[in-house]
Amino acid sequence: MSRVVKLAVIPGDGIGPEVVAEAEKVLDAVTADSDVTFDKTRFSLGAGRFLETGDTLTNEDLAAIAEHDAILLGAVGGKPGDPRLKDANIERGLLLKLRFALDHYVNLRPSRLYPGQSGPLAEPGDVDFVVVREGTEGPYVGNGGAIRRGTPQEIANEVSVNTAYGVERVVRYAFDLAERRRGRLTLVHKTNVLVNAGSLWQRIVDAVAQEHPEVAVDYLHVDAATIFLVTNPGRFDVIVTDNLFGDILTDLAGAVTGGIGLAASGNINPDGDFPSMFEPVHGSAPDIAGTQQADPTAAIGSVALLLDHLGLQDEAARVSRAIEDDIASRTGSGRTTAEIGDAITARLQA
């Protein structure tokens, strides 16, 4: 029986289209002989679309995207400081709007230092962990405001909103993941300062831990966690944390494990109420757009996460292995975006 997966593709801005092209190449190749077909719809969204039409994400776009089974996104965002984008905020109006509207409460960001891969650390050790970043709450809710704007009396507030409902579901996901991995879970927060949100996170982790006696749980303040990420990243297995801390930790984690050119991510709605969205952690890098200098590995890794999410574990594993093999053979000499995509595609067959 053949299965059709409706995939929304959002190439986006800058290097987005280039890396998505390679991700699609790999997706097409790995599913060529299988009984699953990807029925793709392309959405033109991002700074480019905004400059053309003034739209960031219309209700029609959102409704159409929501009809799909999954989303593959490249990167969105224009040139920093582009005056025409001054009031756009593509990040909030498009990327975060998708994550929130589609209830992507798990932002899954694996970090692995592949054999053969080097990063900035002198002695990184074995690094293989996953950050489970909450995706729909915290300081990202857009619940802030300012009074007396532009005057010496201006006050600008940002509210971090955290709910038992929201924290519990992502914590449960993280424990389940830790159980399938090396059985270690680290809560990262700042409970000694953000006492209300911190206490909620800590109590929920403590409660869910009772149901998972086989998972070893510890806690780190976010500042201390950054230290361990550079001095002993091998200590981590699953990190569960809030939206903002997860944002910070995963960029650092990407850097530590060879650069965000390799860092894949999934914005996941585990309940299947909405399509999940897969995207590289990196941005649109307008400075190198169109030059074929971008590394598509993060986008291709996001395809592996997409396949895994869709229950296509074999295909996901083949893509992951192809990435791993390619990385192991890298010599540092500059290949183009397409050459890396081609090389990874070629290794799929093996």
Ligand X SMILES: CC(C)[C@H](C(=O)O)[C@@H](O)C(=O)O
Q: Give me the residues that bind ligand X (CB under 6 A), please.
A: 91, 95-96, 192-193, 223, 247, 281
**DSSP three-state, residue 175:** helix
Strands 106-112 and 128-134: antiparallel
Looking at beta carbons, which residue is closest to ligand X? 91
**How many CB atoms are located within 10 Å of the residue 345 CB?**
20
Binding partner selected for residue 41 from a second copy, ligand X, none, CB under the kind-specific 5 to 8 Å limit? none
User: Catalytic site residue 97?
Assistant: no
User: Catalytic site residue 223?
Assistant: yes
Binding partner selected for residue 65 from a second copy, ligand X, none, CB under the kind-specific 5 to 8 Å limit? none
Q: Between 28 and 91, whose beta carbon lies closer to ligand X?
A: 91
Q: Which backbone phi and psi does 149 adopt, to 5 degrees? A: -55, 135
Is residue 342 part of an annotated ligand binding site? no
Is residue 223 part of an annotated ligand binding site? yes
The answer to whether 136 and 166 are in contact (CB under 8 A) is yes
The answer to whether 161 and 203 are in contact (CB under 8 A) is no
Residue given tokens 């996001």 in the structure block:
302
Is residue 109 part of an annotated ligand binding site? yes
Q: Between 132 and 316, whose beta carbon lies closer to a second copy?
A: 132
How far, in Å, CA of 107 to CA of 210, rounded? 24
Catalytic pick among 61, 140, 173, 308? 140
Q: Between 63 and 227, whose beta carbon lies closer to a second copy?
A: 227
Cβ 318 to a second copy shortest distance, Å = 30
Cβ 224 to ligand X shortest distance, Å = 8
The closest of 244, 192, 243, 196 to 219, measured between CA atoms, is: 192
DSSP state of 267: E
Which parts of this chain interact with a second copy (CB under 8 A)? 80, 89, 91-92, 96, 118, 120-123, 139-140, 142, 144-146, 148, 150-165, 168, 190, 192-197, 199-200, 203, 219, 222-224, 226-227, 229-231, 244, 247-248, 250-252, 254-256, 259-260
Binding partner selected for residue 322 from a second copy, ligand X, none, CB under the kind-specific 5 to 8 Å limit? none
How far, in Å, CA of 28 to CA of 37, rounded? 9
Q: Between 247 and 315, whose beta carbon lies closer to ligand X?
A: 247
Q: Which backbone phi and psi does 333 adopt, to 5 degrees? A: -75, 140
How far, in Å, CA of 98 to CA of 269, rounded? 12
User: Catalytic site residue 86?
Assistant: no
DSSP symbols for 50-61: HHHHS-SS-HHH
How far, in Å, CA of 339 to CA of 324, rounded? 16
How far, in Å, CA of 325 to CA of 346, rounded? 11
User: Catalytic site residue 314?
Assistant: no
User: Catalytic site residue 79?
Assistant: no
Cβ 120 to a second copy shortest distance, Å = 5
Catalytic pick among 28, 206, 223, 314? 223
Distances in whole angstroms, Cα of residue 34 to Cα of each of 31, 46, 52: 5, 33, 39
Is residue 218 part of an annotated ligand binding site? no
Write out the binding residues for NAD(+): 283-295
> Which residues are documented as binding site for substrate?
99, 109, 133, 223
Query: Among all residues, which ones are annotated catalytic?
Result: 140, 190, 223, 247, 251
Binding residues: 99, 109, 133, 223, 247, 251, 283-295
- Provide the annotated binding site for Mg(2+): 223, 247, 251
